[in-house]
Amino acid sequence: MSELKLEAKSFFDYIENGVLVGSRCLNCGHISLPQRYICPKCKSDQAELIEFSGKGKLAAFTVIYVPATEMLAAGYDAKHPYMVGIVALDEGPRISAQIVGMDLSDPQKIMIGTPLKMTSLDRVMGEAQKKVLAFEPAEME
């Protein structure tokens, strides 16, 4: 893998292009997501950029009926709840993101361990339209 150019692009620029990146410490192997200059485990500043498959499993979730202002603007409310989950990526790290494409009418039926894959959502933030990271159910094979 080429030398890590953490500053070249931000985590969110990669998301815009549908790529989920992190970093792997060259000293201890710890994986960070988003990428980090300094390893949180051993404090080494030697790391390489890695690209995740974007696949994982649902590890925990919550269905939100009282959205934050930004999500109200995106059209969510008590009648249109949304789901936020912790996704355990196949490579190990966990990430929190909105989960789409799930039936929220009966959250009790949502299964921990559901296979998920990365997607993105368009969201208006102030003046700008941004893509934000989200996950959706992966097709069963």
The three-class DSSP label of residue 88 is strand
Place of tokens 């995740």: 52
User: What own/partner pairs with CB < 8 Å and gap ≥ 24 does 17-20 have?
Assistant: 18/54, 18/118, 18/120, 19/51, 19/54, 20/51, 20/52, 20/54, 20/89, 20/95, 20/118, 20/133
For the chain, how long is the longest CA-to-CA vector? 49
Q: What is the DSSP letter of 77?
A: B
Place of tokens 């921990």: 112
CB of 44 to Zn ion, least distance (A): 5
Residue 18 or 29: which CB sits closer to Zn ion? 29
Task: Name which position in 44, 59, 91, 131 contacts Zn ion (CB under 5 A).
Answer: 44
Tokens of 86: 């912790």
* 42 is an interface residue for Zn ion by CB under 5 A: yes
CB of 21 to Zn ion, least distance (A): 17
Residue 29 or 107: which CB sits closer to Zn ion? 29
- Whether residue 34 is preceded by a cis peptide bond, meaning omega within 30 degrees of 0, is yes
* 28 is an interface residue for Zn ion by CB under 5 A: yes
Residue 46 or 119: which CB sits closer to Zn ion? 46
Residue 20: alpha-carbon gap to chain centroid: 8
CB of 136 to Zn ion, least distance (A): 32
Q: Which stretch binds Zn ion (CB under 5 A): 9-17, 34-42, 92-100, 126-134?
A: 34-42
* 37 is an interface residue for Zn ion by CB under 5 A: no
Q: Which stretch binds Zn ion (CB under 5 A): 35-43, 78-86, 90-98, 114-122?
A: 35-43
Q: Which residues bind Zn ion (CB under 5 A)?
A: 25, 27-28, 30, 39, 41-42, 44
